[in-house]
């Protein structure tokens, strides 16, 4: 499984966002074969950013739980089951927040490239 690391807040999102993005990549295998261009500059509403912040916090908790289960798995088949379950749960969290996975990932990419946007989202997480 491919992983993309999103640097939103090193302690908060590294595992959760990577797993969610990896799941999205699996769903769009044809798109991942083409060279990736820089994420287009998008204007995200405060509502979308808050949804991203809320989902990110839940994903961080899930990531910790599933990371522990993954390390405890005894074989590759069990590890794959844990990964699949984790990805499904994280996608559900994103969708329950009101975002789709593509928008969640787009915000994740945008905050990596825009320090001001990253700060806005971090402020939302802290409040």
Are 55 and 94 in contact, with CB atoms under 8 Å apart?
yes
Label residue 20 left, alpha or beta by phi (over 0 means left) and psi (-120 to 50 means alpha).
Answer: alpha
Average pLDDT, the chain: 76
Model pLDDT, residue 43: 87
Which pLDDT tens digit goes with each residue over 83-98? 999 999 999 999 999 9
Which pLDDT tens digit goes with each residue over 21-49? 444 444 444 344 333 444 445 789 999 99
Are 125 and 57 in contact, with CB atoms under 8 Å apart?
yes
The secondary structure element, H or E, covering residue 69 is helix 46-72
% of residues, the chain, pLDDT over 90: 64
Query: Rounded mean pLDDT of 107-113?
Result: 95
Extract long-range pairs of 77-86: CB within 8 Å, 24+ residues apart: 83/1, 83/19, 86/19, 86/62
Query: Rounded mean pLDDT of 56-79?
Result: 93
């Amino acid at each position: 499984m491919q992983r993309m690391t999103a640097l939103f807040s090193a302690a908060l999102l590294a595992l959760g966002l990577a797993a969610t993005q990896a799941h999205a990549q699996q769903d769009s295998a044809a798109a991942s074969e083409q060279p990736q261009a820089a994420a287009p500059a998008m204007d995200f509403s405060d509502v979308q950013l808050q949804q991203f912040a809320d989902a990110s916090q839940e994903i961080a908790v899930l990531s910790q739980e599933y990371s522990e289960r993954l390390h405890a798995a005894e074989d590759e088949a069990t590890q794959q089951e844990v990964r699949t379950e984790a990805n499904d749960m994280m996608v559900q969290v994103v969708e329950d927040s009101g975002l789709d996975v593509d928008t969640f990932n787009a915000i994740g990419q945008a905050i990596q490239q825009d320090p001001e946007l990253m700060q806005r989202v971090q402020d939302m997480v802290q409040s």
